[in-house]
Structure 1
Amino acid sequence: MADDQQLPRYRVLTGPDDASFCWRVSEALDLGYELHGSPSITFNGDRVIVAQALVRSET
């Protein structure tokens, strides 16, 4: 697990809408991040791309 002092308070994860993206968001939640707003979804002509903002409270 990463050192909490090295984690940014705000992150935006982006990528194809697949299981890998879901795992990345899940791992961030396990590190103490919380979802910030709804995901954004777009289509790039080839695949669906998603983005999710996450925030972590200072402790």
Structure 2
Amino acid sequence: MDIYRFLSADDDSSFCHKVTKALAEGWVLYGEPKYCFDPDAGKMRCGQAVIKQVADQPYDPDRKLTDYE
């Protein structure tokens, strides 16, 4: 089964660290990164989808996606 996450943060090094951590944990980039301006915060925000293939198991919407192995 593939599981999907969308990572987002301000456009700064914390976002890069978040994506790098996900890659180190076995997640794979899915699609291109996205950028948009948040007018309320006055900042650029970025996002990146990642997926991870895990052993077949029942999907549980109450389970953290990072808990799947």
Q: CA offsets, 1:19-45, max 9 Å, x none?
A: 011001000000000000001110012
Structure 1 alignment gaps of length 5 or more: 1-7
Whole-Å separation in 2 of the counterparts to 1:12 and 1:35: 10
Aligned to 1:5: none
Alignment TM-score, normalising by the size of structure 1: 0.80
Structure 2 SS opposite 1:36 = strand
Say if 2:29 is the partner of 1:29: no
**Contiguous gaps of at least 5 residues in structure 2:** 56-69
Structure 1 counterpart of 2:54? 58
Partner of 1:38: 32
Q: What secondary structure sits across from 2:9 in the alignment?
A: strand
* Structure with max Cα Rg: 2
Return the alpha-carbon distance in structure 1 between the equivalents of residues 14 and 54 of structure 2: 27
RMSD: 1.4
Moved over 4 A (4+): none
Structure holding more strand per residue: 2
Percent of residue pairs bearing the same amino acid type: 35
